[in-house]
Amino acid sequence: MNSGLQLVRQGPRWVEAVLGLLYPGVCHLCRDEPAGPADGYVGAECRARVHAVRAPFCQRCGLPYPGEISHTFSCANCAEVELHFETARAAAIADGPVLEAVHRYKYSDARWFHPFLAGLLCEAALPELRDAGWSMVVPVPLHAVKRRERGFNQAEALARPLARALGIPVRTELVHRVAPTHTQTTLSREQRAENVSRAFRAGSGRRRPFPWSPHESPPRLDGASVIVVDDVLTTGATANAVARELRRMGAQRVCVWSTARATLT
């Protein structure tokens, strides 16, 4: 059992018990091998097909590169945009079992995959983030309409086990999605950046589910070091827009972590 999954399993045992009663103990991806709620209903053979993000990759956005590159480098894409985060990293490539689990978790309310996906994130991120002085975790927010449709924010759900393991708070009130943007999946890199350019606004600093009024001052994060979490990173446009708001509030450092890394084809 990997350490990331162990951390996610520290949640309420009654949830596992209820899931065990409702769903058969087989892998919900291949349907051919045993798996239970504590495994996120993903069996050992499907886990073996997960492609972890390994070097070489861009030191800024984390984009993986094939072949042998022994030195650190930044990709050409990062040179063409203004990045508001220091680094972006992901646990696994968005293909095979990871891609299917993310899509079903996100769009079909298949929340039984949570231990699998959150475990991947914790396993990869914790060695990099521990003892590095991070102040808080900020999940990429959903617009209120989309959150009502899905019933939950998948980025927030994935962020909570990571924050718990680091001993730092999850701050969902700091940044709000104020524009119901179109899906990013069919857009080019430039279109993605434009799509989210005005989608986010700093929150009020008070724990309430709506953005701050123009008559209020946004919260201050002077000197804070913030981890932004999302489920999937593609071009990084969405996470970069969130990071921009955090930097405007005075955050000194911002990094980005996601469970999966996709690339534009």
Mean pLDDT of all residues in 60-84 = 84
Q: What per-residue string of b and e applies to 220-257 under the rule 16 or more CB within 10 Å gives b? A: ebeebbbbbbbbbbbbbbbbbbbbbbbbebebebbbbb
SS3 of residue 26 by DSSP: strand
The answer, yes or no, to whether residue 265 has pLDDT greater than 80, is no
Q: What is the pLDDT of residue 208?
A: 46
**pTM, two decimal places:** 0.85
Q: What is the pLDDT of residue 2?
A: 56
Q: What is the pLDDT of residue 69?
A: 73
Q: pLDDT tens, 160-188?
A: 999 999 999 999 999 998 876 655 555 55
The HSE-up count of residue 265 (CA atoms within 13 Å, CB side) is 5
Q: DSSP code of 52?
A: B
Q: What is the pLDDT of residue 242?
A: 95
Q: pLDDT tens, 26-58?
A: 999 999 999 998 889 999 999 999 999 998 999
Side by side, the strands of the sheet bearing 253-261 are 87-93, 253-261, 225-233, 136-139
Domains located in the chain, CATH noted? 3-261 (3.40.50.2020)
Q: pLDDT tens, 190-247?
A: 666 666 667 788 874 444 444 445 555 667 899 999 999 999 999 899 999 999 999 9
Q: What is the pLDDT of residue 9?
A: 53
Q: pLDDT tens, 99-146?
A: 999 999 999 999 999 999 999 999 999 999 999 999 999 999 998 888
Could you give the angle at the alpha carbon of 234 between the alpha carbons of 200 and 147, nearest 5°? Answer: 45
- Sequence-distant (6+) residues with CB within 8 A of 8 are 40, 114, 115, 118, 119, 122, 161
Q: What is the pLDDT of residue 227?
A: 98
Average predicted confidence (pLDDT) for the chain: 85
